[in-house]
Amino acid sequence: MASDQFPGWHGTTIIGVRKDGEVVIAGDGQVSLGQTVIKGTARKVRRLSPGGFDVVAGFAGSTADAFTLLERLESKLEATPGQLQRASVELAKDWRTDKYLQKLEAMLIVTDGAELYVITGAGDVLEPEHDVTAIGSGGNYALAAARGMMDSVRDAEQIARDAMAIAADICVYTNGNLTIEKIAK
């Protein structure tokens, strides 16, 4: 059932921060249905290791849809080891053209420690301009907070943590129970 047919599903906040050769992806743990918190400890950031090639991915949107996309991304990475951009573009092409995948409602932030992308169902593979990107219901709050901290002495993880804390204070669909994955190249 599409989210427009079942209003009340609200998302999450995922942020990706690249600074000083390290990338951190952090996500909150809240799953909400309408005004009810269903779960507060969901893991929306995962490490994928197809063929020994480490990639970190965070997702916002439908969990089942996101897992489908993560599986597809893993198979694309297995087919193109070490080529995150190519695998991401191939996933986005499939997502846009495959009738089954077109119905999936999720977004991904992915990184291999060097590259950082947002992948959408519209066929987009977006690279952030300022080494920070965020998705989900609290994404704009986290993005603005992180952008304001990028020139500080904070490292990537501290920026992600502090930005997520700000988002959790503002967005009712975001909590402070974080999953954080770091990767460096």
- Per-residue pLDDT tens over the stretch 115-137: 999 998 888 999 999 999 999 99
Give catalytic status of residue 68 as yes or no. Answer: no
The secondary structure of 89-139 as a DSSP string is HHHHHHHHH-TTGGG--EEEEEE-SS-EEEE-TTS-EE--SSSEEEEETTH
| Best CA proximity match to 157, nearest among 179, 126, 128 | 179
| pTM (predicted TM-score) | 0.91
The region of weakest confidence among 105-109, 154-158, 168-172 is 105-109
Provide the sign of the torsion angle of the four alpha carbons 30, 32, 38, 43, taken in this order.
negative
What tokens were used for 13?
């906040």
- Per-residue pLDDT tens over the stretch 17-37: 999 999 999 999 998 888 888
